Amino acid sequence: MALLRRPILMLARSGRVKEMVTTMPVSAGIVRRYVAGERTADAVRATRELVDAGLTTSIDYLGEDTTDEKRAEATVGAYLELLQALHDAGLATSAEVSVKLSAIGQYLPGGDRVALENARRICRAAGNVGTTVTLDMEDHTTTDATLHTLRELRQDFPGTGAVLQAYLRRTEADCRRLATEGSRVRLCKGAYDEPEDVAFTDRVDVDRSYVRCLKALLAGDGYPMIATHDPRMIAIAQHLVDESGRERGSYEFQMLYGTRPEEQRRLAGLGERMRVYVPYGEEWYGYLMRRLAERPQNLSFFLRSLLSQK
């Protein structure tokens, strides 16, 4: 299955495949599994269902690599609308939002400044309704710029969360730097197709890096957000949490919408804080392909759906 990861990620960049998938209704089943829907109301509905089950959420309005100013502005507007809708539904304190800087202007002229100002607008709106923002991490070429923007945002919005990807060779050092008081850090394995000189490519090496990074976060004074679906990694994380003397409430687990929902509820039932990453919006194609790359066994279902329409 690991051999399928790179071809699947290549499909994510294929305009022809994207056109086929996004115009064929057969993809709807698997999309509904991983994406809450296309509208703000869909994200609010999914959040309500998860909160009623004892979970919390981090909501992502899908889209990235934006090179159009109007599109970036529309994305900011979507987040502002979402935050107000969550507040109106009484859900804001149970839901934060996750934001990709490339979706709000990072690739526009003067992109770092534009993305920072747009992120400030979203952070301000989030603070006004009693919640927070986490900056999603993208491919390795944006890591330094994203961490710089994080530092700027935290001057006014100290609760802004970071995301670090364990498959990058630099991440253990980044974890140590960010494991400071009040620092919220989501640790995930990573889902982009990265070169070997900057990233571990063997699964065992990625897992070992994840454990080292988690140890660094748990040893610090921050708030680790343990993002993994791997049963073995969850067990290791629980052991490391106990070993570190951490109290419940000083960390949380995170999983993706539609992935191992029974395990999400099991952890919540044990008293763990469990947050679900909920994506929504029309730009679901690239997100879906990265999910398939993470779990290539899902590809068989997807291909069967396509072939059944021929």
- Catalytic residue annotation: 136, 186
Q: Tokens for 87?
A: 């507040």
* Phi and psi at residue 30, to the nearest 5°: -75, -30
Which pair of tokens denotes residue 224? 């680790």
Question: How far is residue 182's CA from residue 51's CA, in Å, rounded to a whole number?
Answer: 24
Residue 178 DSSP one-character state: H
Q: Which residues contact 270 (CB under 8 A, 6 or more apart)?
A: none
Q: Are 160 and 153 in contact (CB under 8 A)?
A: yes
Burial tier of 21 (Cβ tally within 10 Å: 0-12, 13-18, 19+)? buried
**Under DSSP, is residue 149 helix (H, G, I), strand (E, B) or coil?**
helix
Closest CA to 237 of 277, 269, 274, 291: 274
Tokens for 179? 């494991």
Helix (H) or strand (E) holding 225: strand 223-227
Phi, psi of 224 (to 5 degrees): -70, 140
